[in-house]
Chain A
């Protein structure tokens, strides 16, 4: 069966520091991969999605970037974090037009 791993679960970072969040999917090939962000008490904002290795589409311009170095690996990065980058970051995957499944999320606090 398919599983998605996302880490770390929580992260506290100072303003201006770099960020790297990683997500891996097991049990499927060529998944569509997504990064969402959720501000406290708010909805799901799509940040990036990828349909294949090296293919990244950005939905919201910001100081974040994403990379997909391997078929089942998706990385969210930032060179310098802002206070406004705080939030709950969720990786997700789907195959074709099938259901979307979320990882367990990373609670990021930028101080």
Chain B
């Protein structure tokens, strides 16, 4: 089955700096890659996603890139703000429409 590795597990940045979270997946048939943000005690919320026919997608300060050949995808957050502090999860969806999640990255933005 699919295996998703996510790095780093924790990331601390200064407010205004950029943050990058990376994920690799194992199933070359995976075709959909969402990213979720989870604040403490809350539900994970979808913040951006990308399909395998696209290499990059951007939404204001966040962007996701996908390298199908290398089977990795990344989340980029620019001009980080304290409210970006949360746990971020990547996921990969295989041909059976099942999502496999990475282990999560705890992002801390220091003011």
A residues bordering B, Cβ < 8 Å? Answer: 32, 42-44, 46, 49, 88, 90, 94, 96-97, 99-105, 107
Contact = CB atoms under 8 A, between A and B. Distances in A.
A44 B32 CA distance: 18
B33 to A, nearest CB: 12
B99 interface: yes
A103 B45 CA distance: 10
A90 B103 contact: no
A102 B43 contact: yes
Given A97-B32, A97-B93, A102 B44 contact: yes
- Closest CB pairs A-B (n = 6): A102-B43, A44-B101, A43-B103, A97-B97, A43-B104, A102-B44
Contact of B99 (A90, A96, A100): A100
Contact of A99 (B34, B41, B89): B34
A107 B89 contact: no
A90 B43 contact: yes
Interface of B: 32, 34, 41-46, 49, 89, 91, 93, 97-99, 101-104
A33 B80 CA distance: 34
A100 B36 CA distance: 10
A68 to B, nearest CB: 17
A97 B34 CA distance: 12
Nearest to B96: A97
A107 B41 contact: yes
6 contacts: A32-B97, A43-B103, A49-B98, A97-B97, A105-B42, A107-B41
Contacts of B98: 46, 49
Contacts of A105: 41-43
Given A44-B89, A107-B41, A99 B97 contact: no
A44 B44 contact: yes
A100 B89 contact: no
B49 A99 contact: yes
A100 B43 contact: no
A104 to B, nearest CB: 5
Contacts of B46: 99-101
